[in-house]
Structure 1
Amino acid sequence: MCGRYSLTVTADALAERFDAAVPDDWGPRYNCAPGQDLPVLANDAPESFRRMTWGYTPPWADESFDLINARTETVDEKRTFAESFESRRCLVPADGFYEWSDHAGEKRPYRVAFDDERVFAMAGIYATWEPPQRQTGLGEWGAGGDETEEDDRIEAFAVLTTEPNDRIGELHHRMAVVLPEDREADWLAGDVAKADLLDPYPGDDLGWYPVSTRVNSPANDDPSLIEAVDAEG
């Protein structure tokens, strides 16, 4: 699975990499976590990044699902994801993602990244969910009759995962779907089928290394989190 990732480039570098506008308040992030509003490129507006919450809920749900990942093997079969896979795709930019593994004998975090620290795109799906409206308390009724809560629709995304390549398989049994750069536009356009995503990104230059356990807390978000440490560190 992919439960945390990093995107440490500047706004200008991100805009140049994807040829898309970036939110004015964007800054490098070293510990992107579920529940946070993060920049994605959606297929309905690929010329501009917009923030979505990491934690997907299908539009028809009566309660929040907050799903951070979707299995590629069943994404087009599950009612939860099928409609979004068909028509609401997005790119989730990153320059690394974290996995927790007991590879060294004790479960700890590792960062997966390209050897040259390049920015890449993970395949994502998104949806807009509107929580059921609830009647306000009796003491809050206005002269006009019953009132409902203000619009609190949530636009949120999930990252697709697949079987790992041999190199990442030493660390974890799943990995994020990393798109080849020349297929990113095809993914948004709906021209990448499920079968194309089942084979993981090759591990030739995609490696991993241990990082500080400080990444365990989403409250920590600084450059030290992506630095390699001893497995005991």
Structure 2
Amino acid sequence: MCGRYAATKDPATLAAEFDALDATEDHAPAVDYNVAPTKSVVAVVARHPRDDDGEPDPDRTVRSLRVMRWGLIPAWAKDMSVGARMINARSEKAATTPAFRTSVAKRRCLVPADGWYEWKRDGKAKQPFFMTGPDGHSLAMAGLWTVWRDPAKGDDAPPVVSVAVLTTEAIGQLGDIHDRMPKLLTPDRWASWLDPDADDVTELLETPPSLELVESLELRPVSTRVNNVRNNGPELLERDEEKADLTLFDER
């Protein structure tokens, strides 16, 4: 967890929802019902704007949408393949893990999602569920980002901005499907999490997601078509009526 999610809103909608500027330019990823690791995704960041000389303005902070590669590539990595193994960061250990600790202190973000997929074992099979909010608003997954340049190409290497989704112990009804869940942040915690000047976010890392938010989520059984990353379309989000009566507590 979290290894797959859906992101179908255009940048203009996300910018309004997260009170952010759209800085995706022409690089915004297309509507994606089956976002998988290493794909381009949209994240929300807050940074001090820089002047023409590259100096940051300490008195102003701008929240914006940026395009990133899902799977954090540490600055010290020899190649970008390591990112495929770093799509998630455990919130309990991120601050002390070499790959993530600098990002915890300096580069935090939000990853908007319509919802995410998780699989519950049902006998020998695994039944996919789509976890989504009740009101159509995006879920805000806490994330960490960083910038990597290919050392083989030297100082002229183009920057690759990548991101990992923070996870935490599943609470409430989500624990019936999987023991982990993305660290979901409610709007009242967005500013604190994104604050570029807050280098100690221990309390934010340790605070569990809102139980009220988790209990409001719809846990929707969906088709196993989502298992194949090549499948992508609105049908992936449709409720699987054959599994509509699936009992989450059934451990057949």
The normalised TM-score by structure 2 is: 0.79
Alpha-carbon distance in 2 for matches of 1:108, 1:116: 24
Unaligned runs of 5+ in 1: 135-147
- Alpha-carbon deviations, 1:79-116, whole Å to 9, x = none? 11111100011110112011122157621321111122
Pairing 1:201–2:217 present = no
Q: 1:62 aligns with which of 75, 78, 81?
A: 78
Residue 60 of structure 1 aligns to a residue whose secondary structure is: coil
SS of 1:157 mapped into structure 2: strand
* Structure 1 residue 42, shift from structure 2 partner: 2.0
Paired residue for 2:107, among 88, 93, 97? Answer: 88
Structure 1 segments (4+ residues) deviating >6 Å: none
Cα separation, 2, equivalents of 1:103 and 1:24: 43
Match of 1:231 among 218, 238, 243: 243
Q: Which residue of 2 aligns with 1:145?
A: none
Equivalent-residue separation in structure 2 for 1:104 and 1:207 (angstroms): 23
RMSD of aligned residue pairs (Cα, Å): 2.3
Instruction: Pick one of 179, 186, 208 that aligns with 2:185.
Output: 179
Instruction: Determine whether 1:49 maps to 2:65.
Output: yes
* Structure number having the greater helix percentage: 2
Aligned length: 219
What are the residue-to-residue correspondences of 1:115-154 with 2, within 5 Å? Answer: 115-133=134-152, 151-154=157-160
Q: Distance in 1 between matches of 2:14 and 2:204?
A: 26
Gaps of 5+ in 2: 49-61, 245-252
Aligned match of 1:138: none
1:157 to 154, 163, 187: 163
Q: Please, which moves more after superposition, 87-96 or 10-19?
A: 10-19
TM-score by length of 1: 0.84
Aligned residue runs from structure 1 range 97-108, under 5 A: 97-103=116-122, 106-108=125-127
Contact 1:122 1:176 in 2 (8 A): yes
Matched residue type, 1:201? S
Counterpart of 1:77 in structure 2 is 96
Q: Percent identity?
A: 38
State the 1:63 CA deviation.
3.4
Amino acid at match of 1:32: V
AA of the residue aligned to 2:3: G
What letter matches 2:7 in structure 1? Answer: L
